[in-house]
Chain A
Amino acid sequence: GQQLNQSPQSMFIQEGEDVSMNCTSSSIFNTWLWYKQDPGEGPVLLIALYKAGELTSNGRLTAQFGITRKDSFLNISASIPSDVGIYFCAGLPEAGSARQLTFGSGTQLTVLP
């Protein structure tokens, strides 16, 4: 099935550093979402993007909906230990009867003290 290419696969950073991760697709999406998943839990929504070019912030998190509608970026500023987890991008397609989410493979973030 369709897949999103998410990178990097994993990151090890020092507390206080900024983090960037991105997601690309061969197909157009009309909504991009970023989720965070902690061990043993379901994904929790961080940011939702609805329009090409949109830049949205949620605290220290900022995400952008790419102009081509085929990519999205997530930035985390001044990382803290509780940012540890797996970050997933997900897209909702432009057409189709089922509003199924297509997920990236995730970015595992480790924050070192």
Chain B
Amino acid sequence: ETGVTQSPTHLIKTRGQQVTLRCSSQSGHNTVSWYQQALGQGPQFIFQYYREEENGRGNFPPRFSGLQFPNYSSELNVNALELDDSALYLCASSSIVAKNIQYFGAGTRLSVL
């Protein structure tokens, strides 16, 4: 186990709705990264948070937003859900002290109908 926990494990939403996914980082890790993994593909970087600020963003529209809290936990918010947003959303935590190696949670499986 990596110590990275995500909730919920599964979620079903309809098109146009909004969703919030949550992640608790591994103890001692101050950086959280979010990835989207479509079926049959490798994870794609959404964004990263460090010290409660966004620290880099992948090729995702502004309706994907996030937060990091003082305890380093994080949220991913997606507005105006589209069918193509159906995917496994992965959270990873890391720390420069641990050579920036990213350790992943089990993910949240989001289905948009």
A contacts, CB < 8 Å to B: 1, 4, 6, 31, 33, 35, 40-45, 48, 50, 88, 90, 92, 96-106
Contact = CB atoms under 8 A, between A and B. Distances in A.
Interface in B45-61: 45, 47-48, 55-59
Interface residues of B, number: 31
B101 A45 contact: yes
Contacts of B94: 99
Nearest to A88: B42
A101 B105 contact: no
Interface in B83-113: 90, 92, 94, 99-107, 109
B33 interface: yes
Contacts, number: 74
Contacts of B102: 33, 101
Contacts of A100: 33, 45, 48, 56, 58
Contacts of A44: 2, 104
A75 B109 CA distance: 31
B7 interface: no
Given A42-B105, A105-B41, A106-B42, A97 B99 contact: no
A100 B42 CA distance: 13
Contacts of B103: 45
Nearest to B54: A98
B99 A43 contact: no
